Structure 1
Amino acid sequence: MPRRPAPLPDSLGEVFRTRAGLERGVSRARLGASDLHAPFHGVRVRSGPAPADDPDDPFARGRRAREREWRRARAYAPLLTASAFFTGRTAAILYGLPLDPGDDLDVGVIAPARAPRGRGVRGVKVEGHLVRVRECEGLPLGSPASTWAMLGRELSVRELVVLGDAIVRIPRGRSGVPHPDARLATRAQLGSALDAGPRRGIARLRTALPLIREGSMSPLETLFRLDAADAGLPPAELDVEMRDASGRLLGISEFVYREHRVVVEIEGDHHRTSRTQWNRDLEKYAAYAAAGWEVVRVTSSHLRQGRAVELVRAALGRHR
């Protein structure tokens, strides 16, 4: 039976530099034991079982991706220099923004410091006037507005609009109450980041900024809004509290064409897989119909097939 590794000093914590372990009397052989993970050169992380995804939770995948990125960032944190910060895709995911993680951590430094290099790291040197750094859960991150601007070098215009919408949206609590103080940044702050000076991707950023709107609560909503605008549909109200004649709240909807009495609901897969969400939707749509609204339900499949705009156009035509 294999011998259990000797216990480590509690003072080392969950993440520590190998140099700190050696200074506390830990042998090099012990630093190579199977209960320690080496995500970066000179760093060790105490291994533990990864939490399993809940198959009934439609948001579990995104949440786990963010948790994995936080673990990677915290593992690299002991190697950060005084002018270093997380940026790019790494910062976006740590903020909970809708973007796929990269293979490497994005780590920036303020010039004239040298950008970090090494396995698992993509370093970038940034002029100080082009970035604002803030602390988030103990780690230095480029601000949300700075992160958006720095991603102009690699994202398309549509991706920048999706990201910008997610940054400026005003979250709602469980009861549907909006929390303006919880949004990551305003459009004005995105504009200030864009105006800070020349940078790679600035043409795409300038094209994307006027297309960003407050009220798109998911990437699917942003993509439909862009498609609808390209197709010449009239602008809709976004993230609207729907009430009946007595003022009773019937629900909150993504797109409302008030003059046409048409509501557009963008439905992710959780509307199908969650029994609670399914029942809630049925009650809401029945209440809308009783109040004289037509509901157009749009899925990701409709968007991919290019059918979403035509479904809405037809509904608007019925209610001229």
Structure 2
Amino acid sequence: MRRPPDLSPACDFSTAQLGLITTAQCRVLGFSPDQLTDAVRRGEWERVARGVYDTRCAILGPDDHDLRRRRAITLAQLAGGPESVCVGLTALAVHEIWGVPSDLRPEVAFPGARSVRGPGGCAVRRFSPGQVEMVDGHRTVDVRTALVQALPEVSRWTGVALLDNALNKERITMDDLPDIARRVAGRRGSARWKDWWPLADGRAESPPETWARLDCLDHGLPPDELQVEVYDRFGRFVGRGDLGWRTRRGWVIAEIDGAEVHSELAALFTDRSRQNALVKIPGVTVLRYTSTDRGGIIARDVRELLSQAA
């Protein structure tokens, strides 16, 4: 039995760059059912959902976080079909809310919250999609509804980061939080959110900043200020620090680098220039951390510097 034809003609399909192709697309390209079966049997392709195949032509590395989320979004819509609506974390990924895990499992719902047989590789939720939006060609619920669906099922770290980013991007406002909290109440996992709502802060510009703030809070040293603005002796704006603690002479500032946020070369140059400018200001001490520096590392270092400045 001959192997499936070359996939290059499939480049016209938007799913090709993600390595996904549907049975319907295969028919258009002239693939026979036997060829598909043979490709899976030989391990060249993988059936990742009913009617959807992974052609293994897209190699995603461990740092390809955005592509992994895009792939999950695409798989959700391909597996769910034209009536499916992205919900929960998948919808937040469609809306480009930062903080959605890259190992996202696709989630969809159907009009009327009707129950259908799951398409495999994709979770079908009994959520009522309500008003559906089109975002970049994807059918999805709005950001508020997606948060209501997702928050009861995620950790404090993930949930607060999602709220922070939705606030920072002005997709929701602080005035929306009471309504979101009301809609979350009663869902499984909602009880723990009673103490988490006050932690949301839209000044955080990335999930790693949120995680650093929560870690410092957990270790008894929450920052005095976020997005600390620093000026020189002439009153000229020099830069802004992520997390700040006041001292008698100025600030101890913690800068938080995230792999997804600061991976581009231009961003690295900008961060380096900003840090160099900040450390030249008398009374300002700048510490730099990554998203993996947890367990009280930041609080310990800052506490030591604050004691020296006392």
Tell me which interval the TM-score lies in, with the shorter structure as reference length: 0.7 to 0.9
The within-5 A match list for 1:33-112 is: 34=39, 38-43=47-52, 47=55, 49-50=57-58, 60-76=63-79, 79-81=81-83, 84-94=84-94, 95-102=96-103, 104-112=105-113
The alpha-carbon deviation at position 65 of structure 1 amounts to 1.9
1:162 maps to amino acid = A
Distance 2:131 2:175 in 1: 15
**Residue 258 (structure 1) shift:** 5.0
Match of 2:204 among 216, 230, 242: 216
Unaligned residue ranges in structure 1 (runs of 5+): 171-182
Q: What CA distance in whole angstroms lies between the structure 2 residues aligned with 1:4 and 1:110?
A: 36
* Unpaired runs of at least 5, structure 2: 16-20
3-state SS of paired residue (2:119):
coil
Q: 1:27 to 1:235 in 2, by over 3 A?
A: closer
C-alpha displacement at 1:198, in angstroms? 3.3
Alpha-carbon spacing, 1:24–1:205, altered in 2? closer, same or farther (3 Å): same
Give TM-score, length-normalised by structure 1.
0.72
Correspondence for 2:182: 195
Q: Is the 8 A contact 1:90 1:102 kept in 2?
A: no
2:121 match: 120
Quote the offset at 1:137 in angstroms.
0.9
Specify the alignment match of 2:251 in structure 1: 262
Structure 2 CA distance for aligned equivalents of residues 69 and 212 of structure 1: 27
Q: Do the aligned residues in 2 keep the contact of 1:41 with 1:119 (CA within 8 Å)? A: yes
- Report 1:123-162 matches (<5 A): 123-127=124-128, 133-162=132-161
Relative to structure 1, the CA distance from residue 135 to residue 192 in structure 2 (aligned partners, 3 Å threshold; closer, same or farther) is farther
Deviates more, 1:119-128 or 1:225-234: 225-234
Whole-Å separation in 1 of the counterparts to 2:256 and 2:25: 51
Partner residue, 1:174: none
Letter in 1 for 2:58: A
Indicate conservation of the 8 Å contact 1:115/1:124, yes or no.
no
- Relative to structure 1, the CA distance from residue 276 to residue 113 in structure 2 (aligned partners, 3 Å threshold; closer, same or farther) is closer
1:315 deviates by: 2.5
- Aligned-partner residue type, residue 69 of structure 1: A
Structure 2 partner of 1:184:
171
Output the CA distance in 1 between the equivalents of 2:99 and 2:59. Answer: 21
8 A contact 1:146–1:190 mirrored in 2: no
**Larger displacement relative to structure 2 (62-71 or 269-278):** 269-278
Q: Which residue of 2 aligns with 1:248?
A: 236
Secondary structure of the structure 1 residue equivalent to 2:151: helix
Does residue 1:313 correspond to 2:303, yes or no? yes
Give the partner amino acid of 1:243: Y
Letter of the structure 1 residue corresponding to residue 197 of structure 2: L
Structure 1: how far apart are the matches of 2:8 and 2:34? 12
Note the C-alpha offset of 1:44: 6.1
Q: TM-score, normalised by structure 2?
A: 0.74
Superposed CA deviations along residues 270-293 of structure 1, whole A, max 9, x for unmatched, are 599877666655543443233223
Deviation, structure 1 residue 139: 1.2
Structure 1 CA distance for aligned equivalents of residues 69 and 263 of structure 2: 22
Q: Is the 8 A contact 2:65 2:102 kept in 1?
A: no
Residue of structure 2 equivalent to 1:289: 279
On the 8 A contact 1:264/1:295 being kept in 2, the answer is yes
8 Å Cα contact 1:115/1:123 also seen in 2: yes
Cα distance between partner residues in 2 of 1:284 and 1:215? 18
In 2, Cα distance between the equivalents of 1:278 and 1:18?
43
1:304 alignment partner, SS class: coil
Letter in 2 for 1:242: V
Match of 2:221 among 222, 229, 233: 233
Cα 1:209/1:134, change in 2 over 3 Å:
farther
RMSD: 4.1
Q: Secondary structure at the match of 1:201?
A: coil
Q: What's the CA shift string for 1:193-234, capped at 9, x where partnerless?
A: 222363222223332221100111223321221233344436
Query: Would the aligned equivalents of 2:223 and 2:244 in 1 still touch at CA under 8 Å?
Result: no
The answer on whether the counterparts of 1:89 and 1:99 sit within 8 Å (CA) in structure 2 is yes
Q: CA deviation at 1:14?
A: 5.7
Q: Deviations over 1:27-50 (max 9, x none)?
A: 5446657598754323468x5832
